[in-house]
Amino acid sequence: MRERRLRVTYLIDKLHRAGAQVHLGQLVNALDREAFAPEVLCLLAGGPVAEELRARGVSVDVFGLGRLYSPRGLAFLPRLARRLRAARVDVLHTYLVSANIYGTLAGRLARVGAVVTSRRDTGFSRNWRLRLLEERLVNPLVDRVVAVTPAVAECTRREWGLRPERIVTIENGVDLDVCDPDRQPRAEARRELGLAADDVAVGVIGQLSPIKGHADFLQAAAKVAEAAPSARFLLVGDGPMRASLEALAASLGIAGRVSFTGARADVPRMLAALDVVVLPSHTEGMSNTLLEAMAMARPVVATAVGGTPDVLRDRVTGRMVPARAPGILAGVLLDLLGDRPAAEALGRAARAYVAEHLTLPRMVGRYQELYRGLVPR
């Protein structure tokens, strides 16, 4: 007799296009539908990731709470518990701190089979109040906590209320068929971005927020621009820092050589247009953009923060620089731009590393194994 599918419910705060949300969409879309029945619940607001999931036949329910830590938000907990109980959820998997708190409490009220929470970074996304709530109320109640890199797992082990055996490391994965430099139209993408044939394009892809280090990148770009007349600089993404970054580019005298593309859904296409990819973050968990750039065989320069050193090996699969050091970043960029064969060799080694260790099927397989192990048949 065929075994019934495991009901896996995912809970997250928003479904806009950002790292955790994109990862969640990839995981849910790739689950074995003969063995698992997934659904996604969203506390605050939907977005493009929600629409993409629905287009693939995944049930997405957006509650639109507005404010979580308010009387209305707290009153929602029993409603969420009833929703989970009615669905007879086998595994509840929560993403990001607010969903971890709400989901774990509601999941235990609903007596779901197992509760899995996540750690996507080394702690920058939680203020001390949220950290206290998570450690005192949530950690003692969870069955597993998934960390995305060994560095994140090490930070998680220092939290109160978690036994070490409950922490599991599952790295993000990348779809090598989508992130394939031979399948992406480089020349077409470069024409669309207004790049000339002899332009050298250096870019950052990610939300324009302070922790991503875009200001450091622009300061480095100003130094590179003096020595490399053919260099052009792209910032792919949007966010609260856009206006101030545009003003900074103007004040540095490089506004004519910097392009702000806004948010893009076609990240592999944008990567294909670039000659060097920069990840200038002040803190990171495991960047999806980093993995995609490596899979696209782009030479990457990244700051040595968070989980990035777990993935990138300096002078082997990319270049590492200190955070908040635009002068050092500029020097490394000039080295790569001045030695294209060496830069291309780094890109090839990066793709080979991802193909061996960080593929999407490997990631999905490990999550499926985790869920099966938590729910006895």
> How high does pLDDT run on average in the chain?
94
Residue 322 is part of a domain; what is its CATH number? 3.40.50.2000
Q: Which domain holds residue 210?
A: 186-357
Identity of the residue numbered 221: A
User: Are both 100 and 227 inside the same structural domain?
Assistant: no
Instruction: State how far the Cα of 204 lies from the Cα of 214, in Å rounded to an integer.
Output: 8
* Residue among 315, 310, 320, 302 nearest 354 (CA): 310
User: Are both 273 and 305 inside the same structural domain?
Assistant: yes
Q: Tell me, letter by letter, the H, E, C secondary structure of 226-266.
A: HHCCCEEEEEEECCCCHHHHHHHHHHCCCHHHEEEEECCCC
User: Are both 165 and 206 inside the same structural domain?
Assistant: no
Quick: pLDDT tens for 182-213: 999 999 999 999 999 999 999 999 999 999 99
Instruction: State how far the Cα of 339 lies from the Cα of 327, in Å rounded to an integer.
Output: 19
Does some domain include residue 1?
A: no
User: Are both 56 and 165 inside the same structural domain?
Assistant: yes
Query: Which whole number is the average pLDDT over 305-324?
Result: 96
Does some domain include residue 179?
A: no
* Residue among 289, 239, 259, 255 nearest 189 (CA): 259
Residue 78 has pLDDT above 50, yes or no: yes
User: Are both 229 and 148 inside the same structural domain?
Assistant: no
Instruction: State how far the Cα of 359 lies from the Cα of 364, in Å rounded to an integer.
Output: 9
Sheet holding 36-45, edge to edge: 59-62, 36-45, 6-14, 91-94, 114-119, 144-147, 167-169
User: Are both 228 and 155 inside the same structural domain?
Assistant: no
Query: Residue 129: what pLDDT?
Result: 84
User: Are both 250 and 260 inside the same structural domain?
Assistant: yes
Quick: pLDDT tens for 249-285: 999 999 999 999 999 989 999 999 999 999 999 999 8
User: Are both 18 and 133 inside the same structural domain?
Assistant: yes
Quick: pLDDT tens for 83-130: 999 999 999 999 999 999 999 999 999 999 999 999 998 877 677 788
Instruction: State the DSSP string of 339-371.
Output: -HHHHHHHHHHHHHHHHHH-BHHHHHHHHHHHH
Does some domain include residue 79?
A: yes
- What is the pTM (predicted TM-score) of this model? 0.92
Backbone φ and ψ of 207, nearest 5°: -65, 140
Does some domain include residue 113?
A: yes
User: Are both 128 and 268 inside the same structural domain?
Assistant: no
Instruction: State how far the Cα of 350 lies from the Cα of 330, in Å rounded to an integer.
Output: 21
54: confidence class by pLDDT, cuts 50, 70, 90: very high
- How many folded domains does the chain comprise? 2
Query: How many degrees, rounded to 5, is the angle at CA 243 between CA 258 and CA 272?
Result: 35
66: confidence class by pLDDT, cuts 50, 70, 90: confident
Quick: pLDDT tens for 13-52: 999 988 899 999 999 999 999 999 999 999 999 999 999 9
Query: Whats the size of the chain, residue-wise?
Result: 377
User: Are both 192 and 273 inside the same structural domain?
Assistant: yes
Quick: pLDDT tens for 12-24: 999 998 889 999 9
